[in-house]
Amino acid sequence: MNTQPESQPQAANPAALLDALLARRAVLQAGALLGLAAVAGCANTGGSYPDPVEPGAGVRGGEGPLSPQRPAATPTPPRPLPSGPAPQPQVGPVTAQGVIRRSNWTRAGIARPGDIYPLRSVNRITIHHEGVTPYTATSEDATRQRLEIIRRGHVTVRGWADIGYHYLIDPAGRVWEGRPIQYQGAHVKDQNENNLGIMVIGNFERQLPNAAQTASLDRFVASQMRQYRVPVSRVFTHRELAPTECPGRNLQRYLVMARANGGSLRVALAAAGAPELAFA
Ligand SMILES: [Zn+2]
């Protein structure tokens, strides 16, 4: 028995029909992309692409309630997010920090507002790679399409509330806004609380991060460390928190060097005016 209302006018509306077809195509693309991800995803534990977030209690696609936080090895008081009016007015395509706003690549809102949780503070940062196919395209349009495929994959295939990462860095070094920062991300299973998620687009198990990406990563991570007072000891890669190959051996190697004494992240911190965070 068809329980759908029969009075929907969309089928007779060519524009709506085109939208529906495009949406279906994007879903299929996302499915194909995540099919590839089955062998090399961000959360790869050796051949699979498991859910990096805690499933809701019996609810498919739920991002899970706020779980009791594990005692941290080096407890750091959470840094409150800047307070003020919750929704930031979207003025212009780029933020003061040079981040390309979400509105520049998608008009989609949070797909499952009931499944998303506030990010009350930030006391650590986690770096990821996309981990699907090696990726080198540098045009803005290519990145827009890639971001939308990732978002749809997370929403329609994984069943999450929204794209999992807060920020994404493309092969030209541009930083794009993903999940709005007022929300907890979905990027490290059971460890999303207070955790800022940054993803570098590409598969760094199979390719090298380029100079534009690494320079941007250092600069942007340093700016976020300064903003939330996160010391270098609280900047992690995904594999340092969970059994996964993410962010790939090449980006992992880079980040180990970047965080070390004299490394590029410490240099960027000094340039950002927060050298003290390099020694905490
Ligand atoms: Zn990851």
Q: For 111-149, what is each residue's pLDDT tens digit?
A: 999 999 999 999 999 999 999 999 999 999 999 999 999
Is 165 contained in some domain?
yes
What number of other Cβ atoms are within 10 A of residue 212's Cβ?
Answer: 15
Residue 91 Cα to ligand 1 midpoint, Å, equals 31
Residue 243 Cα to ligand 1 midpoint, Å, equals 10
Give the integer Cα–Cα distance in Å for 201 and 23: 23
The overall longest dimension of the chain from CA atoms, in Å, is 68
In percent, how much of the chain has pLDDT > 90? 65
Backbone angles phi, psi at 116, to 5 degrees: -115, 150
Phi-psi map region of 268: left, alpha, beta (phi>0 left; psi -120 to 50 alpha): alpha
Residue 270 Cα to ligand 1 midpoint, Å, equals 27
Global pTM reads 0.75
What number of other Cβ atoms are within 10 A of residue 161's Cβ?
Answer: 24
In percent, how much of the chain has pLDDT > 70? 68
Domain count within the chain: 1
Is 140 contained in some domain?
yes
> Is residue 166 helix, strand or coil?
coil
What number of other Cβ atoms are within 10 A of residue 54's Cβ?
Answer: 17
Residue 153 Cα to ligand 1 midpoint, Å, equals 15
In contact, 187 and 42? CB cutoff 8 Å? yes
Residue 54: its H or E element: none
Q: Give the domain CATH number at 17.
A: 3.40.80.10
What pLDDT was estimated at residue 189?
Answer: 94
The three-point CA angle 62-164-24 to 5° equals 80
What pLDDT was estimated at residue 4?
Answer: 37
What pLDDT was estimated at residue 42?
Answer: 78
| Length, in residues, of the chain | 280
What pLDDT was estimated at residue 153?
Answer: 95
What pLDDT was estimated at residue 241?
Answer: 97
Residue 239 Cα to ligand 1 midpoint, Å, equals 7
What residues make up the domain containing 200?
12-54+93-279
How confident is the prediction for the chain on average, in pLDDT?
80
Residue 128 Cα to ligand 1 midpoint, Å, equals 4
Is 33 contained in some domain?
yes
Q: Where are the alpha helices (DSSP H) in 63-194?
A: 140-152
Q: Is the peptide bond before 247 cis (omega within 30 degrees of 0)?
A: yes
Is 45 contained in some domain?
yes
Q: Which residue positions in the chain have pLDDT lower than 70?
A: 1-41, 43-92
Tell me the pLDDT tens digit for each residue of 170-193: 999 999 999 999 999 999 999 999
Residue 217 Cα to ligand 1 midpoint, Å, equals 15
DSSP code of residue 10 = G
Give the integer Cα–Cα distance in Å for 111 and 162: 6
What number of other Cβ atoms are within 10 A of residue 62's Cβ?
Answer: 18
Residue 178 Cα to ligand 1 midpoint, Å, equals 15
What pLDDT was estimated at residue 205?
Answer: 98
Nearest to 263 by CA among 220, 232, 224: 232
What number of other Cβ atoms are within 10 A of residue 255's Cβ?
Answer: 26
Residue 127 Cα to ligand 1 midpoint, Å, equals 7
Is 21 contained in some domain?
yes
DSSP code of residue 272 = T
Residue 165 Cα to ligand 1 midpoint, Å, equals 9
Nearest to 145 by CA among 110, 170, 173: 170
Is 5 contained in some domain?
no
Is 152 contained in some domain?
yes
Nearest to 135 by CA among 36, 204, 223: 204
Is 60 contained in some domain?
no
DSSP code of residue 70 = P
Ion ligand 1 residue ranges (Cβ < 5 Å): 42, 128, 238, 246
